[in-house]
Amino acid sequence: MSAPLDFYFDFSSPYGYLAAARIDEIAARHGRGVNWRPFLLGAVMKTTGRKPLAAVPLVDEYMRRDLPRSARLHGIDFTLPQKFPTMTVAACRAYYWLREGDAGLARKVAWKIYAAYFAEGQDIADAETLLGICAAAGVDREKLAAALQDQRIKDLLRRETDAAAARKVFGSPFIVVDGEAFWGDDRLPQVERWLQSGGW
Amino acid sequence: MSAPLDFYFDFSSPYGYLAAARIDEIAARHGRGVNWRPFLLGAVMKTTGRKPLAAVPLVDEYMRRDLPRSARLHGIDFTLPQKFPTMTVAACRAYYWLREGDAGLARKVAWKIYAAYFAEGQDIADAETLLGICAAAGVDREKLAAALQDQRIKDLLRRETDAAAARKVFGSPFIVVDGEAFWGDDRLPQVERWLQSGGW
């Protein structure tokens, strides 16, 4: 089989970022592509009733140690941003608008946005900041600014988030390989194993 | 250094069980022992405000697929019990009472209790069932039955659970290696790496 993996993530999810840094390479080792599918985790959390990790006592403290430790282990540049979590609606809209014209560019820009937030601490919720990140990656700034306000693009993101919810995606990162669901950055070894063997 | 690892777990935690099946072997590869420290996760969850995974929509459904999948990968016998989660006060008391006299026996019995629940589906909350599991492992049934009602043993478990909470243990399994905390069965590869290198 050569269907791409579905890689669901929220741009404000640090474990999603750690997975984003590695998922394409893992898939490529097994001749697969990756369909990057950012969505709004907050909307899905209304179903689970769960709070963001940063809002949970003790878990938040642990996460602030676990994240840089896990990032170092994989050689990924990482600093938890001062403003965390943040709003990711604009980042998602930018991605889906770009994907309509050039999926490769959209994928490249998605990574730039993620890295701007989690490696450089830029506030990706700020429209000017986001436009600057995308423009530096070769995106037409004026067209993107218009797209971010376009009702059609707003609806497109809503449909994508609804589609994630319908597929019972409840966390970030969330990876689906040939119908098999894996939740969390720490499931990447199992994802790779599944790609190798088609199951166990 | 040769200090033992601290292995915190709740007898009702399936991911704790998956870790229990492997932690001693991992530690032994690096010349370490393991201090098994069962505690009452429910008491600690009052601090985090979190619900058990089984009580969270979507997460519960995912867990029911992820658990046997992870167990198969590691060759661990596993079936989620019909009665899940269950009460683990008696199992914890049995462990700490046994540990006073024979830490090796206590460790062996802890594993038997865990396996009775997660591999055989026995109801470890039931006193007669628990006594039977322990007796089969060589424990004096009458003395244990008395110990389960002994105020001193009740207080001992309370102190152990308070000590876990004081150390900010908020989940199961939770492993501390030379002061470094790792949460979750999926952190065992990092635990092993830490034992190898003393950090990174």
Q: Complex ipTM, two decimals? A: 0.93
Statement: residue B40 has pLDDT above 70: yes
The number of folded domains in chain A is 1
According to the model, what pLDDT value does residue A96 have? Answer: 98
Contacts of A184 in chain B (CB under 8 A): 186
According to the model, what pLDDT value does residue B181 have? Answer: 98
Of B59, B73, B183, the CB nearest to A48: B59
B23 pLDDT band, cuts 50/70/90, is: very high
According to the model, what pLDDT value does residue B153 have? Answer: 98
According to the model, what pLDDT value does residue A55 have? Answer: 81
Whether A48 sits inside 8 A of B61 (CB atoms) is no
Task: Say what percent of chain B tops pLDDT 90.
Answer: 90
Rounded mean pLDDT, B75-93? 96
Contacts of B59 in chain A (CB under 8 A): 48, 50, 170-171
pLDDT in tens, B139-171: 999 999 999 999 999 999 999 999 999 999 999
Among B85, B79, B90, B97, CA closest to B113: B90
Distance between CA B67 and CA A177 in Å, rounded?
17
Of B58, B70, B170, the CB nearest to A47: B58
According to the model, what pLDDT value does residue A150 have? Answer: 98
According to the model, what pLDDT value does residue B43 have? Answer: 86
pLDDT in tens, B64-82: 999 999 999 999 999 999 9
Chains A & B: contacts with CB separation below 8 Å: 67
Statement: residue B1 has pLDDT above 80: no
Distance between CA A29 and CA A13 in Å, rounded?
25
According to the model, what pLDDT value does residue A44 have? Answer: 82
The residue among B58, B63, B67, B192 with the most chain A CBs within 10 A of its CB, best to mutate, is B58
Statement: residue A47 has pLDDT above 90: no
The B-side interface with A (CB below 8 A) comprises 47-51, 56-59, 61-62, 65-66, 69-70, 72-73, 168, 170-171, 181-184, 186-187, 189-190, 193, 200
Task: Say what percent of chain A tops pLDDT 70.
Answer: 100
Distance between CA A49 and CA B58 in Å, rounded?
10
Q: Where are the beta strands (DSSP E) in chain B?
A: 5-9, 34-38, 174-177, 180-183
Statement: residue B138 has pLDDT above 90: yes
Contacts of B49 in chain A (CB under 8 A): 51, 56-57
Of A59, A73, A193, the CB nearest to B200: A73
What is the three-class DSSP state of A177? Answer: strand
For the record, the structure tokens of B161 come out as 């659970």
Contacts of B54 in chain A (CB under 8 A): none
Statement: residue A108 has pLDDT above 80: yes
Distance between CA B51 and CA A48 in Å, rounded?
11
B122 pLDDT band, cuts 50/70/90, is: very high
Mean pLDDT of chain A: 95
Amino acid at residue number A63: M
Statement: residue A4 has pLDDT above 90: yes
Distance between CA B176 and CA B183 in Å, rounded?
9
Cα B117 to chain center, whole Å?
12
Statement: residue A1 has pLDDT above 70: no
Contacts of B58 in chain A (CB under 8 A): 47-48, 168, 170
- Give the distance from residue B20's alpha carbon to the nearest chain A alpha carbon, in angstroms: 18
Distance between CA B3 and CA B51 in Å, rounded?
33
DSSP designation for A50: P
The CATH number given to whatever domain includes residue B129 is: 3.40.30.10
| Sheet of strand A5-9: strand arrangement | A34-38, A5-9, A174-177, A180-183
Distance between CA B15 and CA B11 in Å, rounded?
10
Alpha carbon of A89 to those of A56, A95, A114, A138, A154: distances in Å?
23, 10, 13, 21, 9
Domain around A102: 5-197
A48 pLDDT band, cuts 50/70/90, is: confident
The four Cα atoms B54, B169, B109, B95 give a dihedral, to 10 degrees, of: -110
According to the model, what pLDDT value does residue B104 have? Answer: 95
